[in-house]
Chain A
Amino acid sequence: MDFTPSCKRRRTVKHEKNVLLELYPHDLQMYKVPPKGEIKLVEFQDLTLERQKVLQLLEIALAQQHKSLDELKQAFRNSLKKEGFHHYARLITAEGCSSHNDIDLEARRKDHISHFVMRLAYCLKAELQQKMLSLETELFKLRFSSLDKEGLTQFLATSGLHYTPVSKEFKDENRDKLITSTTKDGDFDSINFYEMSFHEVNELICDRRVFVKKGIAYVPQKDLISVFVQHFKNNLATELNIAKKSLMVNLEDDDRLQTFLKALPECYAGMSKVVWQSENTPISKLDDLSKTSYPLCMRVMHEHLKSTHHLRNTGRLQYQLFLKGIGVSLEDNIEFWRTELCKNPQLTDDKFSKEYLYQIRYNYGKLGRRVDYRPHGCNKLILDPVGAGEVHGCPYKHWDVDSLTKKLADCKIAPSDIGEITRLSKEGHYILACTKFFESSHKQMPGNMFMHPNAYYAESRKILNKDEFKGDETEASMLTEDMLVPISPEKLPPQPMKKNHNIPETNKSVTPRTAEKKIRSIDRKNKMDPLNIEALLNDDSD
């Protein structure tokens, strides 16, 4: 099982190919056997960085929320090619075992090694494990769907998973239910249904896409992908934990590798990551900020809370964590909720302490499991269910067109943009709809793509703060920490920034806004709790 360059010299090219073919007979693998032999550190590093980048491109492609799998695959493939990752581009649409030329084998080998290196790099922290698990699973799903008939058969044969098709009698007896309870149409008589425990097909159960009777799920051939995906995911989850243990034991003596592995995830700038604000945000500014810098999801919750003095459980959780992320201290967060919720005559201060205080303190890791919880990202907001009477979640996903249109008009979004945003959300491009909302209300695109409400906020503050301080270097550097200058979109200068360069300093220092700022920074001193925020930042290492 040698594949190291040093070995290459000793072997004939032909022999080398046979060995590779034996190792990698298929375009897709379950990664059950780790690579053996030696590898140069440089190659090791290159492969890892490359796969990391590939997963990042996949994350972007997923965020674009393409209508069909084929569209997604095409877009992802194009971006891989553009970046020069031709091996990976090839694997995305590889059919399984239709071709075994040198490039195919090299692609499979790269895939194999880089996957295992990624395991080592991403196993140390729970959050990174989660990230790898979800993206590798998506990658597997895409590639599985590209297999042709022969590729699928071969893969089934080598995977070690065995299922038996149900009898014709059973099929005839349950014909109607089998047809209506599975999604894909096709010639019923020629489709095989495989029986297995419902535990093995969570995804199909979750979406009600399978006929299930007395605990047995009857899975049509085409949906077997779900079974494999779940198996792949479970296996990887277990392996990541094993990798973690072995890494701690085995890598101790290799400093170079250890340093590289530990540094690796830092290069990974995922869009769905939390952006913590390092400054303290006073709660007196939340009303203004909700209009200028909140994404719509958070703005809706803020306004609902303000007008009804109530927010259902999941909404409270999402909004409290968002506030934590934008730099509201624990004390202020408590104060904010106490003030708002207790405006409801039925809620006494005492009741607040008993029923709501715990959750806030819990979110800050002060109670219970003492985990320092992170604000939820867009994926979670989009996927988490929203029940009757609840206002949390992603407006672009969870609102109907009428409600969304009305809300956008309330936010003073230009009519042409409203059309665009509702169109995007109707087509399932929630993040793009949100980006359009950002563009429309800031009169410019965000500097970075985001998939997190707190990242939206950070992008907004970057722009609004820049507008505010441009042209005054000294004051700007002094006050960069004070990023809480409210500018509602309506009040944005028609031509942001450029003109400000020419405004004389004397003129600036007397503007009421600057005076206001000074007052605020004094005000802040009393409330600020820098240690707390710093602790949060230190704890967060993604």
Chain B
Amino acid sequence: MDESTLSDLLPLYYTRLFPYVDYYRWLSYGEVNTFSRREFSFTLQDDIYIRYQSFNNIESLKNEVKRLCPYKIDIGAVYNVAPSNKRREAKFEPIQREFVIDIDMTDYDDVRTCCAGADVCNKCWKYMSLALKILDAALRDDFGFEHILWVFSGRRGIHCWVCDKQARFLTPNTRKAVASYLQLVTGGEFQKKKVKIVKKMHHSVKRAVDIIESVFTKMCVEEQGMLDSEERVTKFLGIIGEEDMRAEAKAVLDKHSTGVKKWEAFVNFFKQEMQSGNKKWRRTPFLIQEIMLQYAYPRLDINVSKGMNHLLKSPFCIHPKTGKVCIPINPKVVDQFDPKSVPTITTLIDEVNAFDAKELKEQGESIDNVKRIKDYKKTSLNKPFHAFQEFLRGIENSQMGERIKKSGELIFFLFYDELNQITN
């Protein structure tokens, strides 16, 4: 998307479509102070970057966004004081922050073969769906988090915001621990085997393997052609530790011509060796699972999750290069999400105009209807916004529950006081 179109359309988007009310509902978590101490940062045209913005209320946020029309909005932590006042305070430190995860397709460049760099297609997008499913399950089942917002990053990745109160108040050490827990693929350029399962398989790893296994052959072996060239076979063999085992595996692979056949043959060969009690191969009893994990387990930028004051791009931004809206992804139907059909700012504006024109034509001169209907409802944002509102209702219900619990205790104390008075 070229820059001048973007800067023409952004004012319209921020005036008519950006969901300020829901945005505020989310980031305030029912408390004004939580919102007013939140850091926002804006990237303006020509990469002008302003940090530590904060707003007392929804109106002032709205006015500033409309005035500046930022190319990008980042959300930071909630601080002890409003970030815009930070210079006046001796102590300035983050108090709460969603637990966030950033997954970028470029971290898959050593395993995906269909595209490279910033490009993404339906084949490699499967890495993202898989990542979302695996991490979503771990966050819910293992850590008990419930309010998890998944967002398309606008081009080639996904972001995750874990918004449970417990998650927002995690200490840095616990954040680090959770991030490491979720990170399985480690090792840099010079470490060929990137997943090691020693002795036993942790229940979370087992769950991830189960999720991956059902799609592995189709996705990695067939579509990505994991074993389709000499070079890729060599890379694959690199995962196997010892020289002579590599040679044996190569011999097995060489007997077959297609990738899928090669993979099946290797899996069978490995199973046989394990059953026959071959000591060499039994040293790595989880080799097949390790390979699948290395090729398909989510790769997260752990530093983003570890810190409290790391900024992360806000949902509902427009990606300046693609023009796409960073819309929430419904984890329940993630397989239906297609990055190619995410609405762009241009299509949205067209949709609004088309709707209004049609309405005017049908209703004659009366523009009541045009005005009455919220603009986003006239566009393909309608559905993603609904998903977001559902997520918000979940948070608000739990906040309500908490308040009732609190006031319940209060009632009890009042009652107890009265009781005391009576008995005295």
Binding site for B on A (CB under 8 A): 177, 179-181, 183, 198-199, 202-203, 205-209, 211-216, 304, 313-314, 354, 385-393, 395, 398-400, 402-404, 407
Query: Does the CB pair A180–B186 fall under 8 Å?
Result: no
Asked whether any CB of chain A lies closer than 8 Å to the CB of B57, the reply is no
Query: Does the CB pair A183–B200 fall under 8 Å?
Result: yes
Query: Does the CB pair B203–A385 fall under 8 Å?
Result: no
A212 to chain B: which residues have CB within 8 Å? 142-143, 204
Q: Which of B47, B143, B188, B302 contacts A392 (CB 8 A)?
A: B188
Q: Which of B141, B189, B205 contacts A390 (CB 8 A)?
A: B189
Query: Does the CB pair A391–B142 fall under 8 Å?
Result: no
Asked whether any CB of chain A lies closer than 8 Å to the CB of B250, the reply is no
Interface residue stretch chosen among B167-175, B260-268, B311-319, B370-378: B167-175
Q: How far is the CB of A317 from chain B (nearest CB, A)?
A: 10
A395 to chain B: which residues have CB within 8 Å? 190
Residue of A nearest to B169 (CB): A199
Asked whether any CB of chain A lies closer than 8 Å to the CB of B192, the reply is yes
Q: Which 6 pairs of residues, A with B, have the shortest CB-CB distance? A: A215-B144, A214-B144, A386-B188, A202-B177, A403-B190, A399-B190
Asked whether any CB of chain A lies closer than 8 Å to the CB of B181, the reply is yes
Query: Does the CB pair B142–A213 fall under 8 Å?
Result: yes
Query: Does the CB pair B192–A403 fall under 8 Å?
Result: yes
B201 to chain A: which residues have CB within 8 Å? 180
CA distance A202 to B177 in the complex (A): 5
Q: Chain B: how many interface residues by the 8 Å CB criterion? A: 46
> Known: A181-B202, A208-B202, A313-B303. Is A388-B180 also a contact (CB below 8 A)?
no
B301 to chain A: which residues have CB within 8 Å? 387
CA distance A403 to B177 in the complex (A): 30
Q: Which of A180, A313, A398 contacts B190 (CB 8 A)?
A: A398
Mask, B292-306, CB within 8 Å of A = 1, is 000000010111000
Query: Does the CB pair A211–B192 fall under 8 Å?
Result: no
Q: Which of A179, A213, A354, A387 contacts B188 (CB 8 A)?
A: A387
B183 to chain A: which residues have CB within 8 Å? 385
Q: How far is the CB of B170 from chain A (nearest CB, A)?
A: 7
Q: Which of A208, A211, A215, A400 contacts B205 (CB 8 A)?
A: A208
Asked whether any CB of chain A lies closer than 8 Å to the CB of B206, the reply is yes
A205 to chain B: which residues have CB within 8 Å? 174, 177-178, 180-181
List residues of B (252-291) whose CB comes within 8 Å of A's CBs.
none
Of B180, B188, B190, which is in contact with the most chain A CB atoms at under 10 Å from its CB?
A: B188
> Known: A202-B176, A354-B47, A403-B190. Is A388-B299 also a contact (CB below 8 A)?
yes
CA distance A215 to B171 in the complex (A): 15
Query: Does the CB pair B188–A390 fall under 8 Å?
Result: yes
Asked whether any CB of chain A lies closer than 8 Å to the CB of B110, the reply is yes
B145 to chain A: which residues have CB within 8 Å? 215
CA distance A206 to B203 in the complex (A): 14
List residues of B (100-114) whose CB comes within 8 Å of A's CBs.
107-111
Query: Does the CB pair B176–A389 fall under 8 Å?
Result: no
Q: Which of B49, B181, B194 contacts A388 (CB 8 A)?
A: B194
Q: How far is the CB of B174 from chain A (nearest CB, A)?
A: 5
Q: Which of B185, B193, B238 contacts A387 (CB 8 A)?
A: B185
A179 to chain B: which residues have CB within 8 Å? 200
Query: Does the CB pair B203–A211 fall under 8 Å?
Result: yes
Query: Does the CB pair B187–A398 fall under 8 Å?
Result: yes
CA distance A198 to B180 in the complex (A): 14
Residue of A nearest to B175 (CB): A202
CA distance A389 to B104 in the complex (A): 13
Query: Does the CB pair A180–B185 fall under 8 Å?
Result: no
Q: How far is the CB of B154 from chain A (nearest CB, A)?
A: 18
B202 to chain A: which residues have CB within 8 Å? 180-181, 208-209
Query: Does the CB pair B191–A385 fall under 8 Å?
Result: no
Q: How far is the CB of B4 from chain A (nearest CB, A)?
A: 18
Binding site for A on B (CB under 8 A): 47, 49, 107-111, 141-145, 166, 170-171, 173-174, 176-178, 180-181, 183, 185-194, 199-206, 238, 299, 301-303
A354 to chain B: which residues have CB within 8 Å? 47, 49
Query: Does the CB pair A202–B188 fall under 8 Å?
Result: no
> Known: A180-B202, A385-B302. Is A206-B180 also a contact (CB below 8 A)?
yes
CA distance A206 to B182 in the complex (A): 9
> Known: A183-B200, A213-B142. Is A400-B177 also a contact (CB below 8 A)?
no
CA distance A203 to B203 in the complex (A): 17
Query: Does the CB pair A391–B181 fall under 8 Å?
Result: no
Given contacts A215-B166, A402-B238, 4 further A-B contacts (CB under 8 A): A388-B108, A388-B299, A392-B188, A400-B192
B144 to chain A: which residues have CB within 8 Å? 213-216
Query: Does the CB pair B206–A180 fall under 8 Å?
Result: yes
Q: How far is the CB of B246 from chain A (nearest CB, A)?
A: 10
CA distance A179 to B109 in the complex (A): 36
Q: Which of B173, B176, B190 contacts A400 (CB 8 A)?
A: B190
Residue of A nearest to B172 (CB): A202
Query: Does the CB pair B47–A386 fall under 8 Å?
Result: no
Q: How far is the CB of A407 from chain B (nearest CB, A)?
A: 8
Q: How far is the CB of A157 from chain B (nearest CB, A)?
A: 27
Q: How far is the CB of A227 from chain B (nearest CB, A)?
A: 13
CA distance A212 to B174 in the complex (A): 14
Query: Does the CB pair B187–A386 fall under 8 Å?
Result: yes
Q: How far is the CB of B317 from chain A (nearest CB, A)?
A: 18
B205 to chain A: which residues have CB within 8 Å? 208
CA distance A529 to B177 in the complex (A): 42
Q: Which of B141, B190, B192, B302 contacts A213 (CB 8 A)?
A: B141
> Known: A180-B201, A183-B200, A400-B193. Is A215-B143 also a contact (CB below 8 A)?
yes
Q: How far is the CB of A499 from chain B (nearest CB, A)?
A: 40
Residue of A nearest to B173 (CB): A202
25 contacts between A and B (CB under 8 A): A177-B203, A180-B202, A198-B178, A205-B181, A206-B181, A208-B202, A208-B205, A212-B143, A214-B141, A214-B142, A215-B143, A354-B49, A385-B183, A385-B186, A387-B185, A387-B301, A388-B185, A388-B299, A389-B107, A389-B109, A391-B190, A395-B190, A398-B191, A399-B190, A403-B190
Q: Which of A207, A313, A386 contacts B186 (CB 8 A)?
A: A386
Query: Does the CB pair A393–B188 fall under 8 Å?
Result: yes
Q: How far is the CB of A66 from chain B (nearest CB, A)?
A: 19
B109 to chain A: which residues have CB within 8 Å? 388-389
Query: Does the CB pair A403–B176 fall under 8 Å?
Result: no
CA distance A403 to B176 in the complex (A): 29
Q: How far is the CB of A371 from chain B (nearest CB, A)?
A: 13
Residue of A nearest to B199 (CB): A183
Residue of A nearest to B206 (CB): A180
Q: Which of A203, A314, A393, A399 contacts B177 (CB 8 A)?
A: A203
CA distance A203 to B181 in the complex (A): 10
CA distance A62 to B399 in the complex (A): 47
Of B141, B180, B202, B301, which is in contact with the most chain A CB atoms at under 10 Å from its CB?
A: B202
Q: How far is the CB of B301 from chain A (nearest CB, A)?
A: 8
> Known: A199-B171, A202-B173, A212-B142. Is A388-B200 also a contact (CB below 8 A)?
no
Query: Does the CB pair A402–B192 fall under 8 Å?
Result: yes
Residue of A nearest to B192 (CB): A400
CA distance A183 to B180 in the complex (A): 17
B174 to chain A: which residues have CB within 8 Å? 198-199, 202, 205
B302 to chain A: which residues have CB within 8 Å? 385, 387
